[in-house]
Chains A and B, each alone.
Chain A
Amino acid sequence: MASQLLQAAVLGVLTGGVYALMASGLTLIFGVMRIINVGQGALVILGAYLSFVLFNTWHIDPFLGLLVTMPAMFLIGVVLELVFIRPLKTDRESLSVLVTYALALGIEGVLGFVFTANYRELSVWYDTASVPLFGFRITLVYVFGFALCLAILGALFLVLYRTTFGAAIRATMLNRTAAQLIGIDVEGVSAVAFGIGMATAAAGGAVFGITTAFNPNSHYDLISRLLTVIVLGGLGSLRGAVVAALIMLVTQDVASVIIAPEWSAFVFFVILVAVLLVRPQGLYGVRVRERI
């Protein structure tokens, strides 16, 4: 039991990294633009399908394929922002939820048309190979995935905290109007932030596609988890998203050992409810007065 628990905890940390990556894009978009991208789950699935096509058609390794899919998804994100998000002038927060929901449905429809509803999986060699760790074996893909997430999240933090552009992003997150007043191109920052969010979805999608069988429908399950993660972390807090993803996934994996696997997803919601009762603004969130 103890070794099972330890194994669950280690696995939770490793998969938590992947969720942290996917959620980081979501929370970054919220922080910069004050919109909730309900389509993030569908975009992760889109990323998974892109990796799937590259792998099946040209035998490009999903991790290597990120060199193609991440820039591609970045561009898709910028275009989506320009066409669908920027025109929203009034009541952005609610309308954007609906717009991105509609985008998710559209992506689901297109993917369903192209790839049918059959479940797919990226079967790479490291999906079955494993390494020994603390006396049990960990499948390599989780290790690789975690390393990838560390690298991308690290790069993201470096950009945010060590570059001028990162400072512009953070300024926009703190106060959009003030940022605009001191000459920051907040519209441009928003488009790039949305693009970065998509790029993280591409990376998350590649790992998700290796570890999990997916079909066009999978985004509902994914987005409800990602949204729960960013609410727990505090909307708009990158650090919060990372910490919350680790907490959620470790708790979930441990709960599936202690209680039962089919109830493990329920843990997400129990934690969510507990957080809302004790601290509605999330771990790292600040209580904001809205619409003053």
Chain B
Amino acid sequence: MNAARRFAPRVALLLVAIVAILLPVLEPNPASINVAVFTMMYVGLASAWNIMGGYTGYISLGHAGFFGLGAYTLGLGVAHLGIGPGYGPFALVPLAGLLTGLFALPIGWIALRTRAATFVIVTIAVMFMLQLAAMNLIGLTGGTGGLSLPVPRWSGDFYNTPFYYAMLILASLTIAVSWWIRRSKFGLGLLAIRDDEDKAMAVGVPTRQFKLAAFVISAALVGMIGGVYAYYVTYVYPEFVIDPLTGISMVLMAFLGGLGTLTGPVLGALLVEPAQLSLAYNFGASRLYLVFYSGVFLVVILLLPRGIVPSVRDLTIGWWTRGGPGRAAGPSPGPSTPAPGNVVAP
């Protein structure tokens, strides 16, 4: 029983990894791979957002700004370094992460002087400030006219595949970072900040440094994903790469799956993004998909405020220990919840 419970997650992870890697072979239709590219992009974005929003409880609605910074870094880098189409631009993705992280440092330093509600507002304001700067710095960014990137000369059937793997690698990297943080002392400090910041400070958690580090890591990961996105769509417009909807989407996905859990944002992205893409494809012109989107959001928050993963975990823990559901919902069972095997049945 215990061995099965210990190995089940590893086997599941292996299976998921195999499916993810073989996906372009299993389903070679370019339209499907396009959906997979965007889904994998949001797996990465939601997981990266979760490092700040989920672990520390500081809700940032402005992460779309960092997405845009990464996109512009890649677009400008390719243009100024004279990198041609092909695999070359992918080499600039780490640079996009680095520069976004550098930008996030002062932004986070200022924004994190505030807490809770004010922090949310500041992140929104910063996002619009970045968008405005991108529109007005015409000499650098091309203003509202945007930037164009070179279009790779890959065949239509193959075109999406390199981008899928790029997104897959970044999503895996993000999940790995998130996993590492979650089980490190740093991650423990972040969770302490979420639960009670003043007490965390009192017991010696360097709250300011920890929050800033989480913010910068989260932003840098989002920036790298933004860089790949820019190359995928081959143009960078201020309204598209710094879109409030991108910012709120990653938040919704993290909330739906389970805030502050490792698998929650992944699950949320896998559920929401394909649905969003098909809605935008079918109803995009009428903007009715926004109504649907807001409906899902409201239902999730009102009926399932803790997300799918924590709710299901409680349910299964009830089954494992008592042979039935019904364990009272704890306040914040992240992955730190004792493994069900260790729970003493009453």
CB A114 to nearest CB in B, in angstroms, measures 10
Q: With the chains together, A101 CA to B305 CA distance in Å?
A: 15
Residue A263, interface by CB 8 Å: yes
Verify A291–B197 contact, CB threshold 8 A.
yes
Residue tally, chain A, CB below 8 Å to B = 53
> B298 to chain A: which residues have CB within 8 Å?
84, 99, 102-103, 106
Verify A106–B295 contact, CB threshold 8 A.
yes
Closest to A265 in B: B132
Other-chain residue from A35, A95, A117 in contact with B301 (beta carbon distance below 8 A): A95
CB A101 to nearest CB in B, in angstroms, measures 6
A residues engaging B (CB < 8 A)? 30, 34-36, 38, 84, 87-88, 90-91, 93-95, 97-99, 101-106, 108-110, 112-113, 117, 216, 220-221, 223-224, 227-228, 230-231, 235, 262-263, 265-266, 268-269, 272-273, 276-277, 280, 289-292
Other-chain residue from A36, A99, A109, A276 in contact with B117 (beta carbon distance below 8 A): A36
- With A90-B305, A216-B287, A266-B136 given, is the CB distance from A276 to B113 under 8 Å? yes
> B125 to chain A: which residues have CB within 8 Å?
224, 227-228, 231, 268-269, 272
Other-chain residue from A36, A95, A112, A291 in contact with B290 (beta carbon distance below 8 A): A112
Verify A106–B136 contact, CB threshold 8 A.
no
Verify B294–A269 contact, CB threshold 8 A.
no
- Listed by A's residue number, 23 A-B pairs whose Cβ atoms lie within 8 Å are A38-B61, A84-B302, A93-B117, A94-B59, A98-B301, A102-B293, A103-B294, A105-B248, A106-B295, A109-B287, A112-B287, A113-B291, A227-B121, A228-B125, A231-B122, A235-B118, A266-B132, A266-B133, A269-B128, A272-B122, A276-B111, A276-B114, A277-B110
Closest to B143 in A: A262
Closest to B120 in A: A97
CB A246 to nearest CB in B, in angstroms, measures 19
Q: 6 smallest A-B Cβ distances: which pairs?
A: A109-B290, A112-B287, A106-B294, A102-B297, A109-B291, A105-B294
Verify B61–A101 contact, CB threshold 8 A.
yes
Q: With the chains together, A101 CA to B111 CA distance in Å?
A: 20
> Mask for B296-318, Cβ within 8 A of A = 1, else 0?
01100110010000000000000
> Is chain B's binding surface mostly helix, strand, loop or mixed?
helix
CB A33 to nearest CB in B, in angstroms, measures 11
Residue B187, interface by CB 8 Å: no
Which of B116, B126, B288, B293 is packed against the most chain A CB atoms within 10 Å? B116
Q: With the chains together, A199 CA to B248 CA distance in Å?
A: 27
Residue B5, interface by CB 8 Å: no
Q: With the chains together, A97 CA to B286 CA distance in Å?
A: 26
> Is chain A's binding surface mostly helix, strand, loop or mixed?
helix
Q: With the chains together, A84 CA to B252 CA distance in Å?
A: 16
Q: With the chains together, A222 CA to B198 CA distance in Å?
A: 34
Verify B294–A94 contact, CB threshold 8 A.
no
> B235 to chain A: which residues have CB within 8 Å?
none
> Mask for B119-149, Cβ within 8 A of A = 1, else 0?
0111011111100110110000000000000
Closest to A219 in B: B244
CB B165 to nearest CB in A, in angstroms, measures 32
Q: With the chains together, A91 CA to B54 CA distance in Å?
A: 13
Q: With the chains together, A98 CA to B286 CA distance in Å?
A: 23
Residue B289, interface by CB 8 Å: yes
Q: With the chains together, A88 CA to B300 CA distance in Å?
A: 12
Verify A266–B293 contact, CB threshold 8 A.
no
Verify B290–A94 contact, CB threshold 8 A.
no
> B115 to chain A: which residues have CB within 8 Å?
290
Residue B38, interface by CB 8 Å: no
Q: With the chains together, A220 CA to B238 CA distance in Å?
A: 14
> A88 to chain B: which residues have CB within 8 Å?
301-302, 305
Closest to A221 in B: B128
Verify A94–B116 contact, CB threshold 8 A.
yes
Verify A117–B287 contact, CB threshold 8 A.
yes
> B301 to chain A: which residues have CB within 8 Å?
88, 95, 98-99, 102
Given contacts A94-B57, A262-B135, 8 further A-B contacts (CB under 8 A): A36-B121, A94-B116, A101-B61, A101-B297, A220-B244, A263-B136, A265-B132, A276-B114
> A91 to chain B: which residues have CB within 8 Å?
305
> B117 to chain A: which residues have CB within 8 Å?
30, 34-36, 93, 97, 235
> B292 to chain A: which residues have CB within 8 Å?
109
> Mask for B210-254, Cβ within 8 A of A = 1, else 0?
000000000000000000000000000000000011001001100
> B255 to chain A: which residues have CB within 8 Å?
98
Verify A109–B61 contact, CB threshold 8 A.
no
